[in-house]
Amino acid sequence: MAMKVYINTKEIVIFDGARIQDAILAYSTVEWKKVINGEISIVDRFGNQTDPDGPIRDGQQFTLKNNTEL
């Protein structure tokens, strides 16, 4: 099965059981490298920073923010 999640408002269709990092990699390898390097953080729809290895559920929304914006 597949599920839909949103990264910076872009819909990403990803496999069931995926982690946040899988969705970011599907969104952009360049942005994923920035996450790894500590340049940007992952924020959920409530404004909470999240870990890349966290699980995701269908319909979740994440935003990638420069660490200077936090």
User: Which amino acid would we find at residue 5?
Assistant: V
pTM of the model: 0.90
Q: Write down the pLDDT at residue 1.
A: 84
Bridge pairing between strands 2-7 and 10-15 = antiparallel
Q: Write down the pLDDT at residue 69.
A: 66
What are the structural domain ranges in the chain? 2-50
Give the side-chain half-sphere CA count within 13 A for 59.
0
Give yes or no for residue 27 having a pLDDT over 90.
Answer: yes
Q: Residue range 39-56: average pLDDT?
A: 96
